[in-house]
Amino acid sequence: MSWTPWIALATGIVMVVGNKIGPPPVILDLGPVVPTPAATPKHAEKKRLITTVTIQNSPGGESVISFEATDVADEGEGKTHTIAAKSYSFADEKAELKPLSDKIMAQLRNVERDMLEYAERAGPPKARAPIGAGGSGGGNRPAH
């Protein structure tokens, strides 16, 4: 075994490391960092709207009403962005809100009557096909 390749390798490593050893780069101390000032926000009007209303009725008479109120920043020209949103439910209402929720419920019942009339005029819901009567319901699939 010859020592020549090992000596050449060791010499190469010393040369590479030797080139990297030396004085550090010159660094100029500029003092404390001053943060870039934030951009001036555009003028916007804060507005609140009801974005979702959910009425869950059952034939037995039980109803659950929930809705979401959202605060938005309206910058004009159709540009808005959401600031905050919160969901509410009449199921977990406070006693002091009961008169207001009763008033809203009465108004919603009037809206429901109008919606039922709309559905009747537009075309009532179609009856569902019986289970196993064919179609894509999966009742008549062949056994594998």
Amino acid identity of residue 80, one-letter, is T
Same domain, 52 and 84: yes
Read off the pTM: 0.58
pLDDT at residue 66 in the model: 95
* Residue 9, helix vs strand vs coil: helix
pLDDT at residue 118 in the model: 96
> Is 14 inside a domain boundary?
no
pLDDT at residue 92 in the model: 79
pLDDT at residue 43 in the model: 83
> Is 64 inside a domain boundary?
yes
> Is 111 inside a domain boundary?
yes
Instruction: Give the residue among 64, 68, 65 at the shortest CA–CA distance from 87.
Output: 68
Measured CA distances, 137 to 51, 125, 133 (Å): 35, 18, 8
> Is 134 inside a domain boundary?
no
Cα three-residue angle 90-59-57, rounded to 5 degrees: 30
How many independent structural domains does the chain possess? 2
Judge whether 65 and 90 are in contact, CB under 8 Å.
yes
Same domain, 49 and 77: yes
Same domain, 75 and 49: yes
Instruction: Identify the domain containing residue 68 by its residue range.
Output: 42-91
Same domain, 78 and 101: no
Residue ranges in the chain whose pLDDT is less than 50: none
> Is 103 inside a domain boundary?
yes
Same domain, 50 and 84: yes
Judge whether 44 and 74 are in contact, CB under 8 Å.
yes
Same domain, 77 and 112: no
Same domain, 82 and 103: no
> Is 139 inside a domain boundary?
no
> Is 8 inside a domain boundary?
no
